[in-house]
Amino acid sequence: MWYETKASKILGIEYPILQGPFGGSLSSVKLVSTVSNAGGLGGYGAYTLSPEEIIKVDQQIKTATNKPYNINLWVSDSDTPDGNVTDEQFKQAQALFKPYFDEIGIPLPEKPAPFKSRFENQLEVILHQKPPVFSFMFGVLSDDILEQCRRRGIATVGAATTLDEAIALDSTGVDLIIASGFEAGGHRPSFLASAESSITGTFVLLQLIKEKVKTPVIAAGGIANGKGVAAALALGADGVQMGTAFLATEESNATEVHREMLFSDNAKYTTLSRAYTGRLGRGITSRLAKDMIYKEHGFLPFPLQTQFISHIRKRAIEQEKWDLILFWGGQIAPVLKHRKATELMKSILDETTAYFDQLGSR
């Protein structure tokens, strides 16, 4: 059967359908457990959580499902060596974004406190809590960490946006590699070259990686239904990861406005921008993202830009100024149909099975 792939075996799941983890409070225990209970792999994006919060989430997931699930972290979570920026850099960002602060009637914020990487402490919790699957982006794991995961029975999954990154992940011995195409919603998880120079579509990237790398590959980006799953499998994928389609379901932690945006005409237009976080990410095109094209030099590095922009976001939500807010989402959103995760899963499985049955009967 189409779903008996190396990825299903490694992950211990029935169907090689991964619900993409969402960082920044968009994941939910409900969505993770719904997908895992339906035979796929639910994923929780935990990179903004404290170690204590990760423990709590992990315990909640373990209560909600006895099936495998995934917790996701960011290996690199800061783009500035000491977590700080110069006063000059900060003044530049203030000048660039001042019109928006004026528009919504709030004062320019103070310079954010220096950011301290959270990854090491979060990783300790992962090794302690032993989720069945640990996926990560923005880097590779050391031999020692991978060995510790192996000893604890934690399957590891790393994300690549280029063939070079897939080769780098492969050489470390991860269990699975995500081929993350530029169609995807959320951040581009590039770690060898700039995200702007790592713009390859999912189906090209998948084929390049399959050609050169032995580790099983999961296709991610621009897949939202059974036809997409069948196409990815036909090109050699061992599974698929879907983000936008699951983000739009009631079980995710996206706001109602966000979910409606993904089902609206606005979703026809998406932009890759650094304006909201300092790292390149795809969301529904906003006025702010459009205004900021070619003004990247004035942005703060990740994650300080997020902290700076969060002031605008908070007030813009109160004032319902939706064109100042980034609604994360990928290019595939206009084909979305399902608002419940169980229905989405059922439809993906039925459609993929029907597709392969039909091929077999030809």
Ligand X SMILES: Cc1cc2nc3c(=O)[nH]c(=O)nc-3n(C[C@H](O)[C@H](O)[C@H](O)COP(=O)(O)O)c2cc1C
The pairing of strands 155-160 and 270-273 is unpaired
Sequence-distant (6+) residues with CB within 8 A of 246 are 19, 20, 31, 35, 252, 341, 344
Distance in angstroms (rounded) separating the CA atoms of residues 99 and 83: 26
Site string for ligand X, 148-167 (x = CB under 6 A): -----------x--------
Q: Does 131 bind ligand X (CB under 6 A)?
A: no
Tell me which stretch binds ligand X (CB under 6 A): 5-13, 14-22, 94-102, 284-292.
Answer: 14-22
Cβ pair 57, 51 in contact under 8 A: no
Distance in angstroms (rounded) separating the CA atoms of residues 292 and 294: 6
Tell me which stretch binds ligand X (CB under 6 A): 114-122, 176-184, 289-297, 309-317.
Answer: 176-184
Site string for ligand X, 190-229 (x = CB under 6 A): ------------------------------xxxx------
Q: What's the alpha-carbon Rg for the chain, to the nearest Å?
A: 20
Q: How many residues does the chain have?
A: 362
Extract the tokens encoding 26.
């968009």
For the CB of residue 222, give the shortest distance to ligand X in the complex, in Å: 5
Closer Cβ to ligand X, 5 or 27, answer by number: 27
Distance in angstroms (rounded) separating the CA atoms of residues 324 and 100: 8
Closer Cβ to ligand X, 149 or 223, answer by number: 223
Distance in angstroms (rounded) separating the CA atoms of residues 205 and 17: 19
Cβ pair 31, 246 in contact under 8 A: yes
Interface residue with ligand X among 112, 139, 185, 239 (CB under 6 A) is 185
Interface residue with ligand X among 26, 169, 292, 316 (CB under 6 A) is 26
For the CB of residue 206, give the shortest distance to ligand X in the complex, in Å: 13
- Cis peptide bond N-terminal to 99, omega within 30: no
Closer Cβ to ligand X, 93 or 131, answer by number: 131
Site string for ligand X, 241-280 (x = CB under 6 A): xxxxx-x---------------------------------
Residues near ligand X, by CB under 6 A: 20-23, 26, 45, 47, 72, 135, 137, 159, 180, 183-186, 220-223, 241-245, 247, 328, 330, 332
